[in-house]
Amino acid sequence: MSDHFQILAKDENTAARRGRLRTLHGDIETPIFMPVGTQGTVKGMTPKQVKEIGAQVILGNTYHLNLRPGSELIRDFGGLHSFMGWDGPILTDSGGFQAFSLAKLSKLSEEGIAFQSHLDGSKVFLGPREVMTIQANLGSDIAMVIDECPPWPCEKDVCAKAVERTTRWAKACRDIAEDLSFLDTGHHVFGIAQGSTFEDLRRQSAEELAALDLPGYAVGGVSVGEPEPEMLHQVGVTIPFLPEEKPRYTMGLGTPPQMLKMIALGVDMFDCVLPSRVARNGAFFTPEGMFNIRNSRFTRDPAPLVEGLDNYANAHFSRAYIRHLTMAKEMLSCTLLTIHNLHFYLDLMRQVRLHIEAGDYASWSRAWIDRYEADEKNEG
């Protein structure tokens, strides 16, 4: 067993596990959802509010923070924790995904990814040395390696080359992290398994990365346009080939039922912009599904967004009031809905940990998903 990750309990009927990941800025209880703070902020919330809803770790993004305000400036302010006023763990993505999401502005080579900045058109280059140096400047507790995320669909030979390059880059990132004393000082580096929808390439990628003995691993290249059943299948075929004694992270997703299903496959960590993004469009999560506060049925509704969920939005405001704010385009509506949605996700993970410890995760999660999906379907 690794000295930074401890498995505390396992579910007998699924691959779900309850763990604890040790970082320089505190322990992370897993399974966990990580709010996204791409630009060094969780949109619409102060760090104090993020802490109050139970967030243990948040995300930043190497590509975006390096463009603005710059990693050296952040380093000079004592690192990202000090700069943004967050004293908990921070995971930073490497910028590899931006080569996929900003494909028209990027070009891949063996050395790395050349970008044309989406801000001002200037040239930016990210290779293994650049991303590890930037993340060292940021003081990331968990730094992701740079990887190549193939599109969906893609040809197998294209995907095979992406897998091979991802492995080479991961090894280079590990070696550079050692040269920078990043690993020796307690920071973690996570590899990212690729392979698109090709099971043999998924296995190859996972096994090659496992051989590098990194502190943790992620499943990448999912939720990039493929159908949900295919996405879940690829997570399921990748996880068994990642080291059991290391934390496993599925990047960039998902909905509450998706997370519960992936936890049953053995995933420990998640991040997603969904709960905060949909909040800015009036949507909120409940155990009966996701609804939009703009719906006229909420005009005179005195209930909180979710009964019994103890956060600032639910403790003080009715659905009717939050609907009024939303219809009036008041900024407070985005803040209140973001507080609620992120707390809903974080509280769901709290319940997950309790049920894994209790030994009834399989039956509990099945009932939770059935209720959420049935009621949401009926609402639709």
Confirm if 147 and 94 have CB atoms less than 8 A apart.
Answer: yes
* CA–CA separation, 172 and 111 (whole Å): 10
Confirm whether 93 is a catalytic residue: yes
Q: What are phi and psi of 273, to 5 degrees?
A: -80, -10
> How many C-beta atoms lie closer than 10 Å to residue 105's C-beta?
15
Calpha distance 72→60 (Å, rounded): 15
To the nearest 10°, report the CA torsion of 236, 241, 245, 251: -50
Helices (H), 112-247: 128-138, 156-179, 199-210, 228-238
Catalytic residue among 11, 147, 271, 347: 271
Contacts of 246 (CB under 8 A, 6+ apart): 2, 5, 214, 215, 216, 217
Determine whether 108 is exposed, middle or buried from the number of CB atoms within 10 Å of its CB (0-12, 13-18, 19+).
middle
The CA distance from 132 to 137, in Å, is 9
Q: Which of 93, 141, 147, 268 is labelled catalytic?
A: 93
With the CA atoms of 79, 251, 273 and 346 taken in that order, what torsion angle do they form, in degrees rounded to the nearest 10?
A: -90
Nearest-angstrom CA–CA distance, 287 and 5: 31
- Which tokens belong to 77? 């302010």
Residue with tokens 């802490």: 51
76 noted as active-site residue: no
Asked if the bond preceding 229 is cis, omega within 30° of 0, the reply is no
126 forms bridges with which residues in the sheet?
113
Residue numbers annotated as active site = 93, 271
